[in-house]
Copies of this chain bind each other. A is one copy, B any other.
C-alpha cells in the first residue's frame, strides 16, 4: 500500500507464481567487529561472527511493485515484518530507496539454499537487499508500503546510521550528521588458522573469505611480518556479485615464534581495507586489515 495505484494482498502461493529469481548473498550485520573499536561503543560486542552467506530464491520486489503501480510521489519502500516488539522496543521496520527496491537482484525470498526459508531466517518471507548491511534483510516480512519520504521509525531514523563526516574517537555526533548505512564495505575474514592456533615450523595454510557489498573482490593480499610485506593470496573460482569470495595462502615459517597473520582485500572500485579504523558512535562497518595471531614452536 502507500504511494501506489492499486494496493493489494498476495498469498505466499500467489507470490510463488511470479518469476523466480535466485541470488547468492553475504549478509553481514553493520555492527560486525564492533568490539574492536576503541573507545568502545555500546551494542552487541560482535567480533567476527555476524556474517554469513546463503542462496536465496524468491520473487523480485520490482515485480510486486509493478503490480501495485508506484506513484511519482513514492521514494522509499517500507519493509515490515510480523515480529512483535519485545517490551518497549520499537517495531522493526526498515526502508529501502526506490532505486534499490526496483533493482533486478532485490528479492522477496521464500527459499534459502534450495529449502523453504527456515523460521529463524524469516519464514515465510524475507527481504534480500543484496550487498547492503544485514538489517535491510527484514525477516517474517508481511507488509510492503511505498512511502514518500524516509521513514521516521527508530530503526531508520536513529539506528543503523553512520556519520557523514570523519569523527574523532569518542566524539558525539549530531543526528543531522548521520546517514543510513547502506552498502557493506570491503572486508576479509581469516577462518584458518584460528587465533592462538599452534604449529610446528613449516608450511602454515591460511583460508578465508573476502567481500565488498555490491562490489567484486579483485585481490586479497596476506602478510606474516606484522604487515611490513604482502603477497597475493589465491582466490577461489566462485565469483558471485554479492557473495564473499574464498581465498587461500601458504606461509613457510621456519623459525619458532609468535606470528601475526594478516589479510587485506581490495575491491573493483579500488577500495582497500584500511590500517586504522574509522571510529563511529555505533561501531558500524569495522573493516580494518584482518589479523590472527599464531604460535610456532619446534
Residues in A lying within 8 Å of B, measured CB to CB: 163, 165-169, 171, 223, 225-229, 255-260, 262, 270-278, 289, 291, 293, 295
Contact = CB atoms under 8 A, between A and B. Distances in A.
Given A171-B258, A258-B171, A275 B226 contact: yes
Given A260-B276, A276-B260, A276-B262, A293 B228 contact: no
B228 A272 contact: yes
Contact of A275 (B167, B169, B255, B275): B275
A271 B225 CA distance: 11
A127 to B, nearest CB: 30
Given A171-B258, A258-B171, A275 B165 contact: no
Contact of A259 (B166, B270, B271, B293): B166
A279 to B, nearest CB: 8
B227 A274 contact: yes
Nearest to A266: B228
Contacts of A166: 255, 257-259
A274 B224 CA distance: 11
A189 to B, nearest CB: 17
A14 to B, nearest CB: 47
Count of identical protomers in the assembly = 2
A227 B258 CA distance: 25
A226 to B, nearest CB: 4
Given A171-B258, A258-B171, A276 B226 contact: yes
7 contacts: A163-B257, A226-B274, A226-B275, A228-B274, A229-B270, A262-B275, A275-B289
Contacts of A165: 255-257
A272 B229 contact: yes
A167 B258 CA distance: 5
Given A226-B274, A227-B274, 13 more contacts: A165-B257, A167-B257, A168-B293, A227-B275, A228-B271, A228-B272, A228-B273, A228-B274, A229-B270, A262-B275, A275-B275, A275-B289, A276-B291
Nearest to A165: B257
A195 to B, nearest CB: 11
B274 A225 contact: yes
Contacts of A293: 168
Contacts of A223: 275
Given A226-B278, A277-B226, A278-B226, A168 B272 contact: no
Contacts of A163: 257
Nearest first, the 7 closest Cβ-Cβ pairs linking A and B are A227-B275, A166-B257, A168-B258, A165-B257, A226-B274, A228-B274, A226-B276
